[in-house]
Amino acid sequence: MPADTSTPPLRRLGRNGPLVSAIGYGAMGLSGVYGAADDAESSRMLEQMLDAGVNFLDTADVYGQGHNEELISGLLAKRRDDVVLATKFGADKDTGGGRPEYVRRAVDASLSRLGIDSIDLYYLHRLDRSTPIEETVGAMAELVTAGKIGHIGLSEVGAETLRRAHAVHPVTAVQQEYSLFTRDPEASLLPALRELGVSLVAYSPLGRGVLTGAFSDVSDVENLEERAQRYPRFEAESLRRNIELTRPLREHAERLDLTPAQLALAWLLAQGEDVVPIPGSRRIERVRENIRASTVELDPALIAELSDRFPPGAAAGERYHPSGMARLDQ
C-alpha cells in the first residue's frame, strides 16, 4: 500500500463547538496501559501527528495518574494553538468525582499538569451516582464562565442523564465506546444526541486493537494477561471468537486496498458527521494510516453489509468486568 499522505477533513463538535479533525487521537496508550511507552518517542510522535493534520487530542487525569497530562504539556508548551484539547475528571468512584467542590479542584490540578490556562473540552469521565448530574454540570458551567474550560462533555452517560445535563448547560460532546464491536449508542443515545445537537466522540473505535487485524491468534496480543484483567473481551475464549469475527472485515479491506483498521474507521465515520473517532497508537505510521480512513467514501451496500456482519451484541465478552459495567450509565 502506498504511504498515506492525506490530511483529515474537519468536523464540528456540537452546534457551536470547535472544528476538529475527523480522526482524533486518544492518548491513553502513551501511559503504559497497553504496554511500555517511551516518553521521548511519544512526544515526537505527537508533534508528527499534528503535522499530519490531527488536531483533536484526548487525555484524562486518571491516565497514568497524571502522567498523560504531564506528557502532553510539553506539546502544548510549543504548539497550544494547534491543539483542540480534551481531558476528563471523575473516573475514580471513591472520589465523589461529581461534587462541585471536586470539580473545581480537579480542573485546577489538570490545568497545572497541562501547563495551560484553559481546557477546550472538559468531560465528566463517569457519572457520580451520589451527586445529581445537575449539580455537576452546574459546577462545570461555572468553569466555562470563569474561562477555565471552553465546552462541557460527558462520558458514558445514557440519554436521560444527557437530557438532564443539557437542560442546565449545553453539552458539546459525549464520549462513548462505539465501533463495529460496540454498537450500544445506536439504541437510544445517538437519537438523543442528534435531537440536542451533541457530537459523539467514539473511544476504542478499533475494539482495543482487535479490529485492526493485527491479531491472528491469542498469542499475538501484547500483555494479554493484563488486558484480560481489564477487559473480558481479551479472555482467551472470547478473544478467539472476536478474532474470527473480524474475518469479513479483513477480506473486504484487502479487496479495497485498505487496512482492516481503516475500513472499521471508515464505517464508523459513515454513521454521521457528528461522530468523531479517537483511535490511539504509539506509532506515527498507524496514525497516518488512520487518517486515510477519513478520506475513504464507502459504498452504501458495503456499509450495510458490515452492519449486518457486526450486529449489536456480536462481540464475545462484556466491555468491562462487573465493577466497571456497574459504573456505566446505560
Residue 297 exposure: Cα atoms within 13 Å on the Cβ side: 1
Which three cell numbers mark 257? 486496498
* Residue 201, SS3 per DSSP: strand
**Closest-CA residue to 195 (of 171, 169, 178, 168):** 171
Backbone angles phi, psi at 150, to 5 degrees: -95, -40
82 C-beta neighbours (distance < 10 Å), count: 14
Which of 63, 102, 123, 203 is flagged as catalytic? 63
Beta strands 199-203 and 275-277 are parallel
CB 177 within 8 A of CB 168: no
3-state secondary structure labels for all residues of 225-275: HHHHHHCHHHCHHHHHHHHHHCHHHHHHHHHCCCCHHHHHHHHHHCCCCCE
Active-site residue 63, yes or no? yes
CB 281 within 8 A of CB 290: yes
Q: Which residues are catalytic?
A: 63
